[in-house]
């Protein structure tokens, strides 16, 4: 295992390697395995995202000064180890399992992906709970965020400079109301959960190909679910705005009642 780990941080396993180095005792090391379906025909976008985070986790451990043979990271792809999936009665991917050095995996050795998400930091905390190995996540530099923020500030600054003699739009209550409304809709839809937990956009069953956009538990959610909630909240908010506009407009009473009724019908 150390020889393989010296070549690549995440060891690729098939059925034979899994039975030899994971299932067969005795072992003096733990193995954290991501069961995935990365082949293009599986069309598992979530698997690709989870694999990237798993690589970050494994690289952070492999190139750490504290690296030992206490824990290894590996993957089992459905197309390379379908027999392993059948052996473990597994029908979904990605799935993370911890195989301890002694004994059989317990319930807590299955990572709660739908609750915690697949961010490398969350995976590192779970690994620490199961193995007492502390992994400090080190990510490659990403300049996309700062560049985008700088570009946005430059655009805003340029517009303000061009309109430096007429800045009345800064005191327009509609502009501030719209900005505040967008912020409220984003926060109430669950975007903060997405930022903290890093859940997958959706879940695709590699066996049946069925895609789930709504999580089955009330304790977790997918990113797609927050987008659906955002659209619903925006539709209801738009309906309320139209109702207020219809009630205060200069139209005669009959037309205002008709507009209000039509708006209520569209909302519900």
Task: Assign residue 102 the CATH number of its domain.
Answer: 3.40.30.10
User: In this structure, which long-range contacts are made by residues 245-253, counting pairs with CB atoms below 8 Å and at least 24 apart in sequence?
Assistant: none
74 lies in some domain: yes
The tens digit of pLDDT for each residue in 117-165 reads: 888 999 999 999 999 889 998 887 767 778 888 888 898 788 777 777 7
139 lies in some domain: no
Residue 25 DSSP symbol: S
Structure tokens at 143: 């300049």
The tens digit of pLDDT for each residue in 65-117 reads: 888 888 999 999 999 988 999 999 888 888 999 999 888 888 889 998 877 88
The answer on 6 and 126 residing in a single domain is yes
161 lies in some domain: no
Domain of residue 257 covers: 169-263
Contact 133, 127 (CB under 8 A): yes
Of 235, 193, 233, 232, nearest to 215 (Cα)?
Answer: 193
The answer on 184 and 83 residing in a single domain is no
The answer on 114 and 45 residing in a single domain is yes
The answer on 122 and 177 residing in a single domain is no
Q: How many domains does the chain have?
A: 2
148 lies in some domain: no
238 lies in some domain: yes
* Model pTM above 0.85: no
Q: Which of 111, 131, 151 is the last residue of a domain?
A: 131
């Amino acid at each position: 295992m150390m020889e393989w780990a010296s070549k690549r941080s995440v060891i690729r396993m098939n059925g034979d390697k899994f039975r030899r180095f994971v299932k067969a005792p005795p072992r003096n090391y733990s193995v954290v395995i991501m069961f995935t379906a990365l082949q293009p025909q599986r069309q598992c976008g979530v698997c690709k995202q989870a694999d990237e985070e798993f690589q970050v986790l494994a690289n952070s451990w492999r190139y750490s000064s504290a690296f030992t043979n206490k824990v290894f990271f590996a993957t089992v792809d459905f197309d390379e180890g379908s027999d392993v999936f059948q052996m473990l009665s597994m029908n979904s991917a990605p799935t993370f399992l911890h195989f301890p050095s002694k004994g059989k995996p317990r319930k807590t050795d299955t990572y709660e992906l739908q609750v915690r998400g697949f961010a490398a930091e969350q995976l590192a905390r779970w690994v620490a709970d199961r193995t007492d190995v502390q992994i400090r996540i080190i990510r490659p530099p990403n300049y996309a965020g700062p560049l985008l923020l700088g570009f946005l500030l430059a655009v805003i600054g340029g517009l303000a400079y061009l309109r430096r003699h007429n800045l009345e739009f800064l005191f327009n209550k509609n502009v501030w109301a719209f900005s505040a409304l967008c912020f409220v809709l984003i926060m109430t839809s669950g975007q903060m959960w997405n930022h903290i937990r890093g859940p997958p956009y959706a879940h695709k069953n590699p066996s049946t190909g069925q895609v789930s956009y709504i999580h089955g538990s009330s304790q977790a959610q997918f990113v797609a679910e927050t987008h659906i909630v955002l659209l619903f909240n925006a539709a209801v908010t738009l309906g309320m705005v139209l109702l207020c506009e219809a009630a205060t407009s200069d139209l005669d009473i009959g037309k205002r009642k008709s507009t209000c009724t039509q708006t209520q019908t569209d909302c519900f």
